[in-house]
Structure 1
Amino acid sequence: ERGRGAYTTARTVGISGGKVFDLDSHLNRTIDNLNAMASRHFNRESVVETTRRAMGDGLSKYYEKFGPGEVKLTVLATWQENDNNDDHFNVACHFAPMPRAPDSPVDVEVRGRARENALIKDSEWVKERRRFEALVSPTANEFLLQSSDGGLTEGSQSNFYALVDGKLFTAEKGVLLGTVRRLVLDVCEREGIPVVLEAPSLESLLKGEWEGAAVSSTSRLFLPVKRIVVPKENQVASELDPSIEFEYQPGSLMAFLHDRVEQEVDAWSTSVLGNK
């Protein structure tokens, strides 16, 4: 097992060609998080070039061995605590088939507190997340994190959205600003969809004030939520727990965003395979 490091999870778009969705954001996140975690000043150009080359070389070998297909790739950048040379860092990439997207809409649960520093993708969070995953129902696609003031900030591996009074609410502060979230907000701006950059409250959910909800991530893209369950703390969900369900008609705002994001991911993708 590798040591603590800065990580980012990306995806390819299309079955070949090595096109990585929102590549620049992943490259910038890697160097920014590496410097923040290590309290150092690694050379941006060097880290970005090394990371891009590792992605491209690894994808080429993956295609040679396993053939074409969409790929999930995780980048981990590490450093040696006792090495003060800012030219010394390591970049490792893991490649796996992109999981099949779940049928939309999905179920989610509310459990766990918001992360202390969600802006940095720290591999330590992966270990902490496993404790909650052991409690989550097999039928739930994701679990949501709650802030101290009752806001539902984000999912464990996703950004979160609520539709309230025709406005799309999504947290801005204290969350990791995911790459698919950038695309979602870009679509909203172009289409004139009102957005409120605040975490929707659990209280308003339980009062029945929401018209819908969704999660987004590199593997899910934009995925509407059918049912939100609120289990007791540190317990598996039961039929007695509060739950809210949503229904989406064809042409609804959540269905529109689901379809539009799928249509636009290719235009937001860049190849890491040489000049292709």
Structure 2
Amino acid sequence: MTSTLSKPTSRMYNIYGNTITLLTVYILVIIEQTNPLENSKNAIYSVTTGMTTFHEFILNYPRGAYTGMRTLERNAIVEFDAHLKRLTNSLALLKWDHKDDHINQAMASFKDPTELKGKLVPLLKKGLESFYEQINTEHETKVSVMIAYSFQEQKPRFAAHFTRLDPILQDRVKVRLEYRSRSTPEVKDSRWVRERADLEENKPKDVNEIVLIDSEDKIYEGMASNFLAVRRDEQGQPVVMCAGLEHVLLGTILRLVVDICEKYHITFDWNFPRLQDAREGKWEGCFITSTSRLLLPVETIYCSPNEKVEFKEHSEIIEFLRQQIVQELASTAYKIL
């Protein structure tokens, strides 16, 4: 039996007598542990369904740490250990607006990888089971985990958002450059979701990602992705370039790219890709990586309203990395169901 909840829903608005469709969203599930300081045996969960987008979900909570996961075969989480580490590290580095020993004590179990795993796995299990009960889909699932502290309620907030993951794009994509940077790139801070909201809202429909660049034409990362470029050295061997980790967040798929490059003896250069090199044709190509999109080659970079850099040819090394990423996913997955 096909569930109607699996169908996309468009939000309709009437503006001056004209009905306009602004966004297509899928029915989703949100799960929250309402007694977050308790262990999994005593955990109480609230489960709700609705049409809350990822951004709405994150912004509905106080400031905190978050991460975006994806399933494999609908029952396992890719790069689970990396996501666990990201959450604990981000919480440890977050500078709260208030300094209080009570906050540190309340958040202690979420900063410890072993204790967090003991809370997170049951939350994900309950969430995935509830999602599949509500939604009849063969697609993989995108899971966003949020850990925050509510000063109003004087307690942590611990929740996850489950939604259908669209099939991975097979075509190359377009990106647009934006002269902006993140203040704490090493932290997966929900404040960044709020700060980038205007970029999301104004992103052209044909653009897959907004990529951040500075006044010296050094390219950092995408709003929700890592950015990498490929050049050839003097011997004609491929070199993969990415901004250093003091400037960007180490995404889970970027981590896989680094491992694959090491495995196949492909040089990896932790230095900024520079726009001028792209303009001069020194790049073989470039690509973005993220949990939901995996590895997407870039066809066009929109530098400004009047300038763009296009990559006419497919890069063999980028296609190789793309294929290897798919093959490596299974080895990093942690079974939840």
TM-score for the superposition, normalised by structure 1: 0.87
Q: Which runs of 5+ in 1 are unaligned?
A: 232-236
The answer to whether 1:71 aligns with 2:137 is no
Counterpart in 2 of 1:93? 160
* Aligned 8 A contact 1:31 1:42 in 2: no
Which one of 308, 312, 331 corresponds to residue 247 of structure 1?
A: 312
CA contact (8 A) 1:168 1:194 kept: yes
1:124 Cα deviation after fit: 1.4
- Residue 234 of structure 1 corresponds to none
Kept after mapping to 1: 8 A contact 2:128/2:162: yes
2-structure distance, mates of 1:46, 1:260: 33
Query: How far has the Cα of 1:35 moved from its partner?
Result: 2.5
Q: 1:135 aligns to what? A: 202
For 1:100, the aligned partner's letter is P
Tell me the residue number matched to 1:58: 127
Does 2:101 align with 1:42?
Answer: no
Could you tell me how far 1:36 is from its partner in structure 2?
Answer: 2.0
Matches within 5 A, 1:102-141: 102-141=169-208
Pick the structure with more strand per residue.
2
Deviating more after overlay: 215-224 vs 27-36? 27-36
Are the equivalent residues in 2 in contact too, given 1:6–1:78 (CA < 8 A)?
yes
Question: Helix, strand or coil: the match of 1:159?
Answer: strand
For 2:332 and 2:270, locate their aligned partners in 1 and report how far apart those are by CA, in whole Å.
23
**Deviation (angstroms), 1:82:** 7.3
The aligned runs of 1:159-170 (5 Å cut-off) are 159-165=226-232, 166-170=238-242
| Structure 1 residue 37: Cα displacement | 1.5
Rounded to whole Å, the distance in 1 between the matches of 2:93 and 2:163 is 28
1:225-240 correspondence runs (5 A)? 225-231=298-304, 237=305
Structure 2 residue 150 is matched with structure 1 residue 80: yes
What's the secondary structure of 2:210's corresponding residue? Answer: strand
- Contact kept? 2:224, 2:290, Cα under 8 Å: yes
**C-alpha distance in 1 between matches for 2:94 and 2:153:** 14
CA distance in 1, matches of 2:248, 2:215: 14
Distance, in Å, in 2 between the alignment partners of 1:254 and 1:38 is 38
CA contact (8 A) 1:73 1:95 kept: yes
1:107 shift after superposition? 0.7
Q: Given the alignment of the two structures, is residue 157 of structure 1 paired with residue 216 of structure 2, yes or no?
A: no
User: 2:231 touches 2:240 (CA, 8 Å); kept in 1?
Assistant: yes
8 Å CA contact retained: 1:170, 1:200: yes
> What one-letter code is carried by the residue in structure 1 that aligns with 2:252?
T
Higher relative contact order, chain-length normalized (CA < 8 Å, sep 6+): 1
Distance 1:247 1:257, change over 3 A: farther
Aligned in 2, Cα 1:36/1:203: closer, same or farther, shift over 3 Å? same
Say how many residue pairs are matched: 259
Q: Percent identical across equivalent pairs?
A: 31
Once the 2 structures are TM-superposed, how far is the Cα of residue 135 of structure 1 from its aligned partner? 2.9
The whole-number CA distance in structure 1 between the counterparts of 2:303 and 2:215 is 16
Alignment RMSD (CA, Å): 1.9
